A and B are shown apart, each in its own frame.
Chain A
Amino acid sequence: MASIAEAAPKPPNALAGALKEAALAAGVAGALALPLIGFHLVDVTGGVSVESRLSWVVYAMLAVFAGRFLLAITRRPAAASGHRDARRSASGKRNARLVGLVILAAVLVLPFLPFSNRYVLDTAITVLIYVMLGWGLNVVVGLAGLLDLGYVAFYAVGAYSYALLALYLQFGFWECLPLAGILAATFGVLLGFPVLRLRGDYLAIVTLGFGEMIRIVLLNWQDFTRGPNGIDSIPRPSFFGLPFREEPPEGGTSFHQFFGLEYAPEHRIVFLFYLILALALVTNWATLRLRRLPIGRAWEALREDEIACRSLGINPTNTKLSAFAIGAMFGGFAGAFFATRQGFISPESFTFMESAVILAIVVLGGMGSQLGVVVAAAFFIVLPELAREFAQFRMLLFGLAMVLIMLWRPQGLISGREPSIRLGRPADG
């Protein structure tokens, strides 16, 4: 690609080059599209038959040809973008803070807005779960620079901790929440130990395997986890002891009675919404705080250069393990919330796809950027909701979004990091 950009000065050559490149891309698209969308199954009497729809393949090729051609003729040499980034970051950060506050204000009043209904709130809760997971994974990937493809494992550990503790020991949500975090953090350390020496691709592969191991254990340990049937009737959270039920339990009061409200099933949804919002904000606050503490700076330094870290007296073992543990802990909290919100969990919910989505949120948001994660999470959850008719092409949209972001914002939607200290106001502590 770079060679095309560099060969751009002479217009006729550029045009020919662009055409050639576009034709090549269209060829590749055609080769991919033929088996993927070129055929589909249709119901016919007595079974299904395969029908071809070659016109779709042609459309896909034409779209790729046009896109690639436009890109090739409009694209400027890649060198310029780096400088622009550096200059923009200072003022961009102040804006980011403002945007963050505006988003927070909008989210806080969301349940009381006129268009807000159960569907909107449910979607918002899902977005917030992913925001929280993204922020948690950001500690590991964005700050410590450890590529983790199995983050969903900790989400699963959190969810199953709560579900199993409730199932076997009748623990409530509020007791389980810290336990889920602690258990997930323990698993984080367990994963951390064998991968201490690994970096980059090798680390990614092992974490991927770890994520699958957790899922497969949950799937096959039928006596304990009920395997693929999952666990149902997971207790719903109470409002600090007041259940959200029309009929209060014997000798108790339920939420609506206590506050003298008319019973409405939405109360629980609104509560769940604020609960996950609070959990996510705690995650954000803790991450930002940690970044300014020696441990957070050590994570970032480790991401930049492990050898330099050692020679400055940073213990890489402890630093990496703490990043895994803390990232996992937030995943565990989110998992416990997921379990109580769904009321039913099964290993199905914790596939590699989830890890990929969470990682995509972090990467597309801009590694290490808190606001970027919010934007990307909203994008990834709301886009498929808006495009429900395209359900079967969801992955295609995913891929398209990824390609577009890699082209225009290779550093992620919100790039550039803010220094954790400035002169005059040295880091506290």
Chain B
Amino acid sequence: MLSVAGIRTFYGQIEALKGVSIEVRQGEIVTLIGANGAGKSTLLMSICGNPQPRAGRIVFEGQDITRLSTHAIVRHGLAHAPEGRRIFPRMSVLENLQMGATVADPAHYADDLARVFKLFPILERRQQQRGGTLSGGEQQMLSIGRALMSRPRLLLLDEPSLGLAPLLVKQIFRTIAEINQREGVTVLLVEQNAFHALRLAHRGYVLVNGRIALAGTGAELLANREVRSAYLEGGHGAVPA
């Protein structure tokens, strides 16, 4: 479904992604884990064309999207819930969701809204409230719900558990599984919370310093000694590059 082949992305002179290749297949949840600054978010953002990679190719459903601008990429059926939620704070919850439907067919706006409200009942109750007045967890739900309003076939989630209480983290991950299983949306998930992410995901990639260090199924990576010591047990063991 999505194939990223050898992309190299730069911030000025700094090479953030040094030739990264990943593959996401239809119906999967794929997670990217790694330390701060490993390039996880950069990879998601490169897929969305902001910033565009200097080298490599990104193909989504057979179409080369490497050189498209962000807003054009989104029209191909890919949605991005960016890091830090980035909801519209002064607009109401309903308006936020409506903005999510920008590229969708207005004919199924009502259906999509009902779907999102079913996934996140709290949003229905808060629909007239300003986005900025929601709690962190609710904002995260709004961010995901907004991304779903465009009926994406692939959903890119950037650290949905960031800054949330443990109970809410569980809830968010459960919802992601639900989106994947019941709605059939393929998910590419970037996470700091490696434990939850790997348990949820079908497959995972470990990014270290802008390179893919390890790849495997969620269970394999969870069992991997290096992954455990580097990301799961708070140790500082290095993952071989």
Question: Residues of A at under 8 Å CB distance from B?
Answer: 86, 294, 297-298, 300-301, 304-305, 307-316, 417, 419-423, 426-427
Residue ID in chain A nearest B110 by CB atoms? A426
Q: Are A419 and B102 in contact, with the CB atoms below 8 A?
A: no
| Docked CA distance A304–B130 (Å) | 12
Q: Is B180 an interface residue (CB 8 A)?
A: no
**Residues in A whose Cβ lies below 8 Å from that of B147:** 311-312
Instruction: Name the CB-closest residue of A to B143.
Output: A308
Please give, as numbers and ranges, the residues of chain A lying within 8 Å of B110 by CB-CB distance.
Answer: 426
Choose one: A300, A308, A310, A313; the contact of B87 (CB below 8 Å). A308
Question: B53 to chain A: which residues have CB within 8 Å?
Answer: none
B138 at the interface (CB under 8 A from A): no
Contacting pair A421 B98 (CB below 8 A): yes
Within 8 A of A (CB), among B94-148: 94-95, 98-100, 102-103, 109-110, 127-128, 130, 133, 146-147
Given A308-B82, A312-B150, A314-B102, answer yes or no on A419-B95 (Cβ-Cβ < 8 Å): yes
Interface residues on B, range: 20 to 34
Given A86-B130, A304-B88, A305-B88, A312-B146 contact (CB < 8 Å): yes
- In the docked arrangement, what's the CA distance between A343 and B210, Å? 67
CB of A193 to closest CB in B, whole Å: 16
Provide 19 A-B residue pairs closer than 8 Å at the C-beta atoms, listed in order of the A residue: A86-B130, A86-B133, A294-B102, A297-B98, A298-B102, A300-B91, A301-B88, A304-B88, A305-B88, A310-B74, A311-B80, A311-B82, A312-B74, A313-B102, A313-B103, A313-B150, A419-B91, A420-B95, A426-B110
Give the A-B pair count, Cβ closer than 8 A: 88
Specify which chain A residues have a CB less than 8 angstroms from the CB of B150 in the assembled complex: 312-313
Q: Which residues of B contact A427 (CB under 8 A)?
A: 98
- Quick check: B95 and A297 within 8 Å, CB to CB? yes
Q: Roughly how many angstroms separate A389 CA and B69 CA in the complex, as a whole number?
A: 58
> Does B56 sit at the interface, judged by CB under 8 A?
no
A53: min CB distance to chain B, Å: 48
The interface centre, meaning the residue of A305, A308, A312 with most chain B CB atoms within 10 A of its CB, is A312
Q: Mark B143-171, 1 if CB is under 8 A from A, else 0.
A: 00011001000000000000000000000
Q: How far is the CA of A310 from the CA of B110 in the complex (A)?
A: 23
B99 and A422 contacting across the interface, CB-CB below 8 Å: no
Report the minimum CB–CB distance from B118 to chain A (whole Å): 15
Other-chain contact of B103, A305, A312, A421 (Cβ < 8 Å): A312
Q: Mark B65-102, 1 if CB is under 8 A from A, else 0.
A: 00001110011000111100011111110110011101
Q: In the docked arrangement, what's the CA distance between A429 and B182, Å?
A: 31
Q: Does B48 contact A (CB under 8 A)?
A: yes
Considering the chains assembled together, what is the distance between the CA atoms of A312 and B81 in angstroms?
9
Given contacts A297-B95, A300-B91, contact A308 B86 (CB under 8 A): yes
Q: In whole angstroms, what is the CA distance A86 to B91 when docked?
A: 13
Q: Is the CB of B95 within 8 A of A310?
A: no
Structural contact, A313 and B94, CB atoms closer than 8 A: no
A424 to chain B, nearest CB (A): 11
B220-232 to A contact mask, C-beta < 8 Å, 1/0: 0000000000000
Shortest Cβ gap from A363 to chain B (Å): 16
Greatest chain A CB density within 10 A among B48, B50, B92 is at B92
Whole-angstrom distance between the alpha carbons of A298 and B95 in the complex? 10
Cα separation A294 to B109 with both chains bound (whole Å) = 13
Question: Given A301-B88, A304-B88, does the pair A311, B74 have CB atoms closer than 8 Å?
Answer: yes
Q: What CA separation (Å) do A417 and B80 show in the bound complex? A: 27
